Structures are given as C-alpha cells and as structure tokens.
Amino acid sequence: MGSTKFGRVMLGSVLSVLAGTQGVLAEELNLYTIREPGLIQPLIDAFTQSTGVTVNTIFLQDGVAERVIAEGDKSPADVLMTVDAGVLVDLVEKGLTQSVESEVLSTTIPETLRDDDGHWFALSMRARAVYVTKDLDLTGITYEQLADPAWKGKVCIRSGLHPYNVALTGSFIAHHGEEAAEKWLTGLKANLARPAAGGDRDVARDIMGGLCDIGVANSYYVGLMRSGAGGPEQEEWAKAIRMILPTFENGGTQVNITGAAVARHAPNKDQAVQFLEYLVSDEAQAIYAKANFEYPVNANATVDPLIAEYGALTPDTIDIVKGVRFRAAASQMAERIGFDN
C-alpha cells in the first residue's frame, strides 16, 4: 500500500516535471508585423536561439489596426511591429496597445523615441538625409537651407505627398510653425531641378546624371546601393554621391523609426516584453544595422560601415510624436502649394 502510494507520488512528480518542461519548450509569442519578413527573420532566429521562445510571424502589408480590432479581446497578437511612428501613435489612440514597464527599454531607448507611458518603443532609425554630388564642396547643411535660392534648379526629391516627405514637413512645422513651414516648402519647390517624383534612389541616379546637385532621400538607401543589393547600376549611382546628415537649426536630424508595441490583449505578455528587450540589445541592434543599414537606437551598438563613414547621427531633439501630430497639416500644405506640379 505504502509502495503504491509512493509510486503514485513519484509518477505525479515525473509528470509535473515533464509538464513543466513542455511548458518551457512551448513558450511562444505572436508577432504581427508590417516590416518585411526577410528583414526581421535574422532577429527572430537569433532571439529563439537565445531564449527558446518561438515567434509566430504574421506579416500584414497594412491594416494592422483593422485586423486587431476585428479580432477583439480574443486577438492572439502579442507584439505589433510597424515601420512608421505615425502607425504606432494610431495604434495607441485606438486602444490596441498596453503600457510596459521595463528598465531595459527605458534606459536603452532615448526618451524622444519611445512613448511617455510605455505604449511603444523605437527599435531602429532611418534618417531623412541629403545626397550631394561628390565634387560639390559641401560638408554640412540644415533642412532650412534647402529653400535657399542659391539652390534654385539644383534639388531633386520625390513627391511632397510621400510619407517620407510628409513626415519631414511635419517635423518642420513642429520646429517653426505652419506659416514658416509653408514658406520653406514653397522655397524648396522653387529650387527643384525636376518635378517631385520617383523614389529616393532616383535622387542618386539624377545626381549622377547631372540633373541636380543635391537631393533629399533616406539614409539606408545609400547602404543598399553601395552593398550591391540593388544591382550594379545602383552601385554606380552610389559612387556618384556623398551623404550628409542635415539638422534643423537648433535641433537634430529628422528620423523615422521601426518600432513595436505590446498588444492590449497579448496572451504572452512576458514573452512579448522579453522580445522587445532583446531587440534593443547590442547583439540584436547590430543585426538590425546590417540587415537594412538602419541606425540603432542603442548607443552602444555598431552602425554598419557603409553608412557609418558619413558621420554620427544625432536624432532630432523634438519628440517624434510632435512631428506626427502635424502630418495631416503637412500633407494639406503640399497639396495647397502644388508641390508636385
């Protein structure tokens, strides 16, 4: 009788251990992401190898908020990852995120690149940069100077209604107000060498072709072109330019971010926070920098050499959310002055 009881106790203990082990092995989280799977998969693989937590990735080209709203409080989403600060703000305003308290996140990420209440966090940055022809004697420029008549007929840029440029104009409004911003945008339009169109890499192409001397484009495209990711033709475009990291007067360089938030009804909140903390670690930030030539938010992380040679990035001193708040006004402004016409 005693032996049988002992055997049952032992069996129960073994089953408990096995259940516990299976629980550890079964740890997982569900990631809803707008970020292209190929760019984040190396990070996911490294996280799983380091922690044993499986990441189930659901790629959504757009409509993250709509998907989570439709799923309601039964949504399996743990982490919501986007490539734009405005989308993160929208997720918060729609009540789809929750506050996270993490010393790792709050001490690693600059205050201007995370939500005041812990609802979202930046993971990497890309700068709105200026490309210049290699033989131009120019080592620095402010965003304000892009409207200087000295650049008349010498500037290339994509559509003023593209989100990249709407974000830049929104930040300009945050710094100087709408009246000054409209005067600036009108001056920038007057300096265009061609209609505002195409993509950021086309700016490098047109500088090489002698159509313009300078242009506005995102920083990471330089790395993509120089690395050969865009093919031999784009490597030649990159050889024709230098990149300058402009700043606002009394400010820093305008950036946008890849960022993430923990979903409001996250079934695996602990793993979600663990994932975010890993993504700002030195190791993960180095992977980020290499994968898409973006700037790390962790000051201790290494910037890829293909963009590091252009100097250190000093993100703008104005909270990124302030620029987001003016994006609607910026878009209306570009339409009002006929920036693309």
**Binding-site sequence positions:** 220-221
HSE-up of residue 329 (Cα within 13 Å, Cβ side): 17
- Residue 338: phi, psi to the nearest 5? 65, 45
Measured between its terminal Cα atoms, the distance across the chain in Å is: 92
Strand blocks (E) in the chain: 28-33, 54-59, 79-82, 121-133, 155-156, 214-218, 241-244, 255-262, 295-296
HSE-up of residue 5 (Cα within 13 Å, Cβ side): 2
| Host H or E run for residue 307 | helix 305-308
Q: What is the DSSP string of 6-70?
A: HHHHHHHHHHHHHHHHHHHHT-EEEEEE-S-HHHHHHHHHHHHHHH--EEEEEE-SS-HHHHHHH
Task: With beta carbons less than 8 A apart as the criterion, state whether 225 and 238 touch.
Answer: yes
Tell me which residue has tokens 């729609």. Answer: 94
Rounded alpha-carbon distances, angstroms, from residue 173 to 79, 181, 341: 31, 5, 22
Q: Which residues contact 197 (CB under 8 A, 6 or more apart)?
A: 158, 159, 340
Take residue 327 and report the two structure tokens written for it. 């994006």
Binding-site annotation: residue ranges for Fe cation: 220-221
Distance between CA 194 and CA 177 in Å, rounded?
27
Take residue 248 and report the two structure tokens written for it. 């606002």
Distance between CA 114 and CA 320 in Å, rounded?
9
